[in-house]
Amino acid sequence: MISRVVRSRLLGALIGVMLISWSSLSMAKSLPINTRLGGDFELPSTLKTEAGNPGKLAKLSDFKGKVVLLNFGYTHCPDICPMVLARMTQIVKRLGDDAKEVQGVFITFDPNRDTAERLSEYIPYFNKTFVGFTGTEAQIAQAAKQYGVIYLPQRGESEAGLLFSHSDFIYLLDRQGRVRALFATDEPLDKMANDVRSLIAEE
Amino acid sequence: MKFFQIVAIVSTLFLSVFAQAGKLTAEGGWVRAVPPVSKNTAAYLTLKNGSKKDEVLLHLSSKAAKHTELHTIVVEPNGAKKMQKMPHATIKAGTELEMKPGGYHVMLIDLVKPLKEGDTVELEFIFQHAGKLSLSLPVKMSEDKAEGGHHHHHH
Ligand SMILES: [Cu+2]
């Protein structure tokens, strides 16, 4: 009799442990808030002014309420920047209907060549909803600093002319504009899409 | 030096490319489609040296661009990535040179005309031993596999 009680208690405890571990496994860990990086900026964008030309001043915080995928680059970049933009495009594609909850943002660190006009011919090629930002060198330097972005012009032996050595993270921002994840170029797309979904679910 | 006839099989369905010069083969090549406003792009492929001799890629060219260069990406101590022109590349006997986004690539500078998805780009490589290797690569928006970070090759 006693042994049966002990056994059933043991069984109960075992089931309890299993339930706890199951629920902690199934409940995805929420992404930590990065308090070191991020912040708002207001810059000329690829959005159209009232006159109908690209260059409308916009803030990152205008996209508050949406999950943001943000990256820095330059349009004369032949390898890394189009790869990163293509990766952002593919994440958004994976989201299906949830894509409308996401805003892609590109900030150039080559504002002398990347005017709002040029950006508006370049960025929509990857995804029509993505918005590009440019500005003065000082404005760009400030925004880059907020996100810990490094970019250094370099003249090498290449016929490609002015190139930059630069960092290439995709920043994942939640609906409040807080940095929640940095994605390197070898981060699997499915994992990134899952992280985006977890922020969409946050409300 | 023996010159082998070009063998390039382009399958538009699977977008796979295979070309060969002697014991040197090229696989899985593609060229990145870029917006018409963009004058530069990159080509990616894997070169396999199946011979017992080290092979050197001496020269490369394409009619699609004014300049064709071999580049690699170097990660600097601060984490920034820097693109660097390589005068040539050595592929040791029995090994391969994998070109992929963020690594070795063929830079096409000053495109003669914009490239769009579905176009093909002709490339010509000259190797020290295998001689000439010509191939035509499909233009694609991206290679999902290469950009998913799923496969990692270490050399
Ligand atoms: Cu390059």
Please give the average per-residue pLDDT across B89-101, as a whole number: 94
Chain A residues lying within 8 Å of B85, measured CB to CB: 156-158
CB A153 within 8 A of CB A164: yes
Q: How does residue A154 score in pLDDT terms, banded at 50, 70 and 90?
A: confident
The confidence score (pLDDT) of residue B154 equals 40
* Rounded distance from Cα A79 to ligand 1 centre (Å): 6
* Greater pLDDT, B7 or A157: A157
- Rounded to an integer, what distance in angstroms lies between the CA atom of residue B11 and that of residue B58? 28
Give the ipTM of the model, two decimals please.
0.78
* Rounded distance from Cα B53 to ligand 1 centre (Å): 28
The confidence score (pLDDT) of residue A161 equals 85
Residue B127 in this model has a pLDDT that exceeds 60: yes
Question: Cβ separation of B38 and A122 shorter than 8 Å?
Answer: yes
Q: How far is A118 from chain B (nearest CA, A)?
A: 7
Question: Cβ separation of B66 and A157 shorter than 8 Å?
Answer: no
Each residue's pLDDT tens digit, A29-78: 789 999 999 999 999 999 999 999 999 999 999 999 999 999 999 999 88
Question: Cβ separation of A165 and B76 shorter than 8 Å?
Answer: yes
Please give the average per-residue pLDDT across B67-93, as a whole number: 92
* Rounded distance from Cα B89 to ligand 1 centre (Å): 14
Which residue among A159, A166, A167 places its CB closest to the CB of B67? A159
Which residue among B38, B80, B150 places its CB closest to the CB of A75? B38
Residue B64 in this model has a pLDDT that exceeds 50: yes
Each residue's pLDDT tens digit, B99-120: 999 999 999 999 999 999 999 9
| Proportion of chain B above pLDDT 90, given as a percent | 67
Q: How far is B133 from chain A (nearest CA, A)?
A: 23
Q: How far is CA B27 from CA A64, A157, B63, B117, B118, in A?
A: 45, 28, 20, 19, 18
Going along chain B from its start, the domains and CATH numbers come out as 18-139 (2.60.40.1890)
Q: In sequence order, what are the residues at sequence separation of 6 or more whose Cβ sits closer than 8 angstroms to the Cβ of residue A10?
A: none
Neighbours of ion ligand 1 (CB under 5 A): A 79; B 71, 83, 107
Residue B26 in this model has a pLDDT that exceeds 50: yes
Least confident of B7-11, B25-29, B41-45: B7-11
The confidence score (pLDDT) of residue A13 equals 58
Give the rounded distance of the alpha carbon of A46 from its chain centre. Answer: 18
What tokens appear for A45 in the block?
A: 């964008």
Each residue's pLDDT tens digit, A122-138: 999 999 999 999 999 99
The confidence score (pLDDT) of residue A95 equals 95
Q: How far is CA A137 from CA A108, A144, A174, B150, in A?
A: 10, 10, 27, 37
Full-model pTM: 0.82
Question: Cβ separation of A156 and B40 shorter than 8 Å?
Answer: no
Average pLDDT, chain B: 83
H runs (alpha helix) in chain A: 2-26, 80-94, 116-122, 137-146, 189-200
Chain B residues lying within 8 Å of A166, measured CB to CB: 80-81
Q: How far is A178 from chain B (nearest CA, A)?
A: 23
* Greater pLDDT, B89 or A8: B89
Which residue among A82, A150, A160 places its CB closest to the CB of B78? A150
- Rounded to an integer, what distance in angstroms lies between the CA atom of residue A139 and that of residue A144? 9
CB B4 within 8 A of CB B112: no
Question: Cβ separation of A83 and B101 shorter than 8 Å?
Answer: yes
